[in-house]
Structure 1
Amino acid sequence: MRIDVLSLFPEMFEGVLGSSILNKAAEKEAVSYMVTNFREYADNKHHTVDDYPYGGGAGMVLKPQPIFDAVSALKESSGSKPRVILMCPQGERYTQYKAEELSKEEHLIFICGHYEGYDERIRTHIITDEISIGDYVLTGGELGAMVVIDSVVRLLPGVLGNEESPVKDSFSSGLLEHPHYTRPADFRGIKVPDILISGNHALIEEWRIKESLRRTLTRRPDLLENFPLGEKEKKWLDEIKKEEK
Structure 2
Amino acid sequence: MRIDVVTLFPELVGAVAQHGVVGRAISSGIASLQLWQLRDFASDRHRTVDDAPYGGGPGMVLKAEPMLAAIAAARAASDQPVRVAYVTPQGRRFDHAAAQVLAKRPRLLVLCGRYEGVDERALELAVDEEWSCGDYVLSGGELPAMVMIDAIVRLLPGALGDAESAVQDSFVHGLLDHPHYTRPQTLGGQAVPPVLIGGDHERVRKWRLQQALARTWRRRPDLLDGLNLTDEQQRLLDEYRTQADADGRCPALDNQE
- What is the aligned partner in structure 1 of residue 161 from structure 2? 161
Instruction: Name the residue aligned to 1:130.
Output: 130
Which consecutive unaligned segments of at least 5 residues does structure 1 have?
A: none
Give the partner amino acid of 1:10: P
Give the TM-score taking structure 2 as reference length: 0.92
Aligned counterpart, 2:4: 4
Matched with 2:249 is: none
Contact 2:84–2:128 under 8 Å retained in 1: yes
Give the structure 1 partner of residue 253 of structure 2: none
Farther off after superposition, 63-72 or 179-188 = 179-188
Q: Measure the CA separation in 2 of the matches of 1:216 and 1:48.
A: 48
> What is the alpha-carbon distance in structure 1 between the residues aligned to residue 92 and residue 20 of structure 2?
28
> 3-state SS of the aligned residue for 2:34?
strand
Q: Which moved more, 1:49-58 or 1:100-109?
A: 49-58
Once structures 1 and 2 are overlaid, which stretch shifts more, 233-242 or 143-152?
233-242
What amino acid is the match of 1:104? K
- 1:110 alignment partner AA: V
User: What percent identity do the matched residue pairs reach?
Assistant: 46
- Residues 1:115 and 2:108 aligned together: no
Tell me the TM-score normalised to structure 1 length: 0.96
Q: CA RMSD in A?
A: 1.2
The aligned counterpart of 1:37 is: 37
* Corresponding letter in the other structure for 2:145: A
For the residues of structure 2 that align with 1:155 and 1:184, how far apart are their CA atoms? Answer: 31
Structure 1 ranges of 4+ moved more than 6 A: none
- Flag structure 2 segments of 5+ consecutive residues without an equivalent: 246-257
Shift, 1:26, TM fit: 0.8
- For 2:82, the aligned partner's letter is P
What aligned pairs does 1:1-245 form with structure 2 within 5 A after superposition?
Answer: 1-245=1-245
Structure 2 counterpart of 1:16, one-letter code: V
Q: Distance in 2 between matches of 1:229 and 1:31?
A: 35
Once residues 237 and 170 of structure 1 are traced to their aligned partners in structure 2, the CA distance between those partners, rounded to angstroms, is 17
* C-alpha distance in structure 2 between counterparts of 1:22 and 1:235, whole Å: 39
For each residue in 1:39-72, what CA deviation from the matched residue of structure 2 results, as whole angstroms up to 9, or x when unmatched? 1111223221111222222211111111111111
Find the residue that maps to 1:228 and give its secondary structure. coil
* CA–CA separation in structure 2 for the residues paired with 1:194 and 1:105: 43
SS at 1:117's partner residue?
Answer: coil
Residue 83 (structure 1) shift: 2.1
- Partner Cα distance (1:231, 1:5) in 2: 45
Q: Could you tell me how far apart the structure 2 residues matched to 1:69 and 1:93 are?
A: 27
Give the CA deviation at 1:98. Answer: 0.6
Deviates more, 1:228-237 or 1:152-161: 228-237
Work out the CA distance in 1 between the residues paired with 2:49 and 2:29.
33
Tell me the secondary structure at the aligned position of residue 25 of structure 1. Answer: helix
Shift of 1:188: 4.0
Q: How far, CA to CA, are the matches of 1:108 and 1:230 in structure 2?
A: 35
SS at match of 2:165: coil
